[in-house]
Structure 1
Amino acid sequence: MTKKWMVSILTLTALIMLSGTVFASSSLKISINGVHVQLPNEAKLEDGQLLVPIRWITENLGATLNWSETESSITIKTANQIQIDRFMDVKRFTTARKLVELWLQGVRTRSGSLQYATLSPQLQQATFKTFENQYWGTGGSSPWIENVVIRSEEKVKDDLVRFVVEYDLASSNWHWSGGRKEITVERIQSSPYEEWQITSIHAKSNEYEIFTPSETVDDTEVTTTSPQANGSVNLTDDEAKAILNRLIPKAVDLYGMFNGSDSFKVDKAKTIPGEEGYAQVIDENFKSVADLKKAVEDVFTIDCAQKIFYSRYLTPDKDRPLYKDYEGKLYVDKNNGGHGWATEFLIDTAKLKGQKDHAAEIELDTTVLDDPGDKLTISIVYVNDKWLLASRLD
């Protein structure tokens, strides 16, 4: 069966109705996406409308056309859809974990097409218009995500795996920790292949992040599975590095706070009566010894904090604790000396030495005053939904 399929370009109708001689004189100019195109020989003017073969217009728009004689149907795919179809191949020969990593890569690079390719057909259908309206880009120039860690991987059943991802947000002038997403991946028969597909993404709400179209944002904590329950933390070297990138800079700052008295601005005019040398700390984030302990216990385990900091610098019955409370204010002993930190931790060299249950050991190189230092082994443990240092840095 042979048919000549024509399409009416309604936007040109008014122009053609003004003068039929315009088309007849071949002076009509058509521009598609800024490129002038020549009308095909089959084009004709009929009842004030310009008719051209549908294949001509689709191909000039960068689309493809397929005609099914048996079904008497035409299928048109736009350039965007062709690109998306090619992206779909990423799901065919991958694992559940690698699919999550691919989605995260799409978030990092703000590629909506890459994110979309990892989703199940149901999620794709629900998010297509939003992705399209955003021109297949997500997020903004800032903030961006960094220090991404796949914190847990729970095999719910053979064809369903649930991942919990933790990450930080950053911009050019600030940094925030505490991002969390729960990603469910299922193995689904998608003709003619069986492939892993992301079926849901639940994100913990925060005021800073621009979430992607495929995420459901929850105001409460994302439901997670603890590594203690799973019996294994299952970290990779890259994830271990991301954990150290979050913990070590904070730990170095804490060593500075307790190694001397110059970490805070103070008001020397405000002192503790009868205790010469103490001055009031002027800092919105540190107004009491309890605030100091909170900062320490966000980085170190309590046992480690007690051995490194509390027993040496905060014990009330010592002659001169470095910090002490007085009348609801925090004071520091300005007579305490201290020295700078000469060690640099080369986190890019970090490698896992071993891991068991909810703990891991990581080895990395150091430098001391820019000279090669000894290798350092750091212990980390997972406690109350976060990774903490369980060993000293010095």
Structure 2
Amino acid sequence: MRKKTTILLSSVIIGVLFSGVAYSASGIKLMVNGHLIQPEVPPQIIDGSTMVPIRAVSEALGANVQWNEAEQTVTVDQAGQASLQRQIELLQSALAPESADDAVNAWAKAVKSRNGAVQYALLGPELQSRTAKTYEELNWVTGVSSPWVDSYQVSSRADVEPGTAAYDVAFQLKTSTGNAGEGTVRVTVGKQDDKWKVMKLETTGGSDVLNGIVIVP
């Protein structure tokens, strides 16, 4: 079923407030994902609220807009987004680690390759909710080209309680001039829906050199 959003109209001017859309107070400019949009009906400030034409913004975001005159209703349809989200969920489920060792090693490997999307997929729901904004701001790439993680070592497993295990992962960093230090992260994994997820991340040493490479909420 396609995902639809219905917006009821109460006046001739169709306008809504959009988060993530930037405006300029003088001669209001409408920017969507960094691109200037010039709609037929310009944005307006009414009673202190910035109103923008819904069709211009929706279509700039890849959605279809339909107007039902009989019901006085505008329908914004972003069918592709729901399909893509479902695809991501199925891929994450299929690739989810089936053992505690697999989970921590997959996470450490993703840190080494700076792949924030994989790191995020391996996190439990609570950690995902606390770190999603940070990963998005980094464009899903953790760390920078220098220093980089040259290698890592995962300690032996220590069972914390039934269904939960903790590991210390030591990351060795390098730059073009040589060794750049080491940092250790305590990784606690737990079983959820028969899959293992990273439930807790704590820096236990060298947190300064790991800043930006390991996302610790």
- Give the alignment's Cα RMSD to 1 decimal: 3.7
Q: TM-score, normalised by structure 1?
A: 0.38
Alignment of 1:51-130 (within 5 A): 52-55=74-77, 58-59=78-79, 62-64=80-82, 79=84, 81-82=85-86, 84-89=88-93, 92=96, 94-130=98-134
Q: 1:14: Cα distance to partner?
A: 6.7
Match of 2:194 in 1: 194
Query: Aligned with 1:185: secondary structure?
Result: strand
Q: 1:169: Cα distance to partner?
A: 0.1
Q: 1:138: Cα distance to partner?
A: 1.2
Q: Quick one: which amino acid aligns to residue 53 of structure 1?
A: T
Match of 2:41 in 1: 16
Q: TM-score, normalised by structure 2?
A: 0.64
In the alignment, does 2:209 pair up with 1:205?
Answer: no
Which residue, 62, 67, 70 being the options, matches 1:43? 67
Tell me the alpha carbon deviations over residues 312-356 of structure 1, each in whole angstroms, 9 at most, x when there is no partner: xxxxxxxxxxxxxxxxxxxxxxxxxxxxxxxxxxxxxxxxxxxxx
In the alignment, does 2:156 pair up with 1:138?
Answer: no
Gaps of 5+ in 1: 19-27, 65-76, 217-394
Match of 2:50 in 1: none
Tell me the alpha carbon deviations over residues 58-79 of structure 1, each in whole angstroms, 9 at most, x when there is no partner: 13xx412xxxxxxxxxxxx8x5
Q: 1:209: Cα distance to partner?
A: 2.8
Taking structure 1 as reference, are residues 175 and 51 closer, same or farther at Cα in structure 2, changes over 3 Å only?
Answer: farther
Separation in structure 1 between the aligned mates of residue 86 and residue 134 of structure 2, nearest angstrom: 18
Which residue, 153, 171, 174 being the options, matches 2:178? 174
Q: 1:135: Cα distance to partner?
A: 1.9
Query: Aligned with 1:16: secondary structure?
Result: coil
Q: 1:96: Cα distance to partner?
A: 0.6
Tell me the alpha carbon deviations over residues 75-95 of structure 1, each in whole angstroms, 9 at most, x when there is no partner: xx8x5x556524531564511
Separation in structure 2 between the aligned mates of residue 143 and residue 112 of structure 1, nearest angstrom: 16
Instruction: Name the % identity.
Output: 22
Taking structure 1 as reference, are residues 90 and 183 closer, same or farther at Cα in structure 2, changes over 3 Å only?
Answer: farther
Tell me the alpha carbon deviations over residues 274-295 of structure 1, each in whole angstroms, 9 at most, x when there is no partner: xxxxxxxxxxxxxxxxxxxxxx
Match of 1:158 in 2: 162
Q: Quick one: which amino acid aligns to residue 40 of structure 2?
A: L
Separation in structure 1 between the aligned mates of residue 15 and residue 108 of structure 2, nearest angstrom: 42
Q: 1:167: Cα distance to partner?
A: 2.4
Q: 1:136: Cα distance to partner?
A: 1.6
> Rg: which structure is higher?
1
Q: Quick one: which amino acid aligns to residue 32 of structure 1?
A: A
Gaps of 5+ in 2: 8-13, 17-29, 31-36, 44-55
Higher RCO structure (Cα 8 Å, ≥6 apart): 2
Q: Quick one: which amino acid aligns to residue 166 of structure 1?
A: A
Tell me the alpha carbon deviations over residues 103-146 of structure 1, each in whole angstroms, 9 at most, x when there is no partner: 11221221111001111111111111111222222111111112
